Amino acid sequence: MKKIFLDTNIALEILLERKNKPVCIEYLQNIDGIFCLSSLSVHIIYYVSFKHLSKKSQIFEYLDQFKILDLSSADYEVAKKIIKDSDFEDVLQIACALRHGCQNFITLDQKLKKTYSSLLDIDLIGMQS
């Protein structure tokens, strides 16, 4: 089964029930595969969500739905070589997805897609205004 890497913004949009949650859910429901997050995303999601959700268990139950991919020093080394802008978090996520053999990377970030689509198949979910 193919691995689908979710950018942190997708996971946060759904968990925190932000305005683009319906678009994200609809898009993901039409994809077959294993949805993956990096350990970097897990950290960010927990940190941001803890302020908004009343129970830690809500965050962990949500995260447990995904395959969590480790972030390694190899990803750091690759990211240093392929970085094209100032957003090092984006390029670490790309490097992690590449190393783990993810076939798709899904994001809400137009700049990320434009910058790194030559390295990986990146799907941009259309954002509602």
Residue 79 lies in a domain: yes
Residue 127 has a pLDDT of: 57
- The percentage of the chain sitting over the pLDDT mark of 90, rounded to a whole number, equals 91
Q: Average pLDDT of 86-111?
A: 97
Average pLDDT for the chain? 94
C-alpha 24/C-alpha 10 separation (Å) is: 7
Cα 66 to chain center, whole Å? 11
Residue 126 has a pLDDT of: 76
What amino acid occupies position 118? S
By residue range, what is the domain housing residue 107?
Answer: 3-124
**Strand ranges across the sheet with 122-124:** 67-69, 34-38, 3-6, 104-107, 122-124
Query: How many domains does one find in the chain?
Result: 1
* 30-75 per-position pLDDT tens digit: 999 999 999 999 999 999 998 888 788 999 999 999 999 999 999 9
**Containing H/E element for 36?**
strand 34-38
Residue 28 lies in a domain: yes
Residue 129 lies in a domain: no
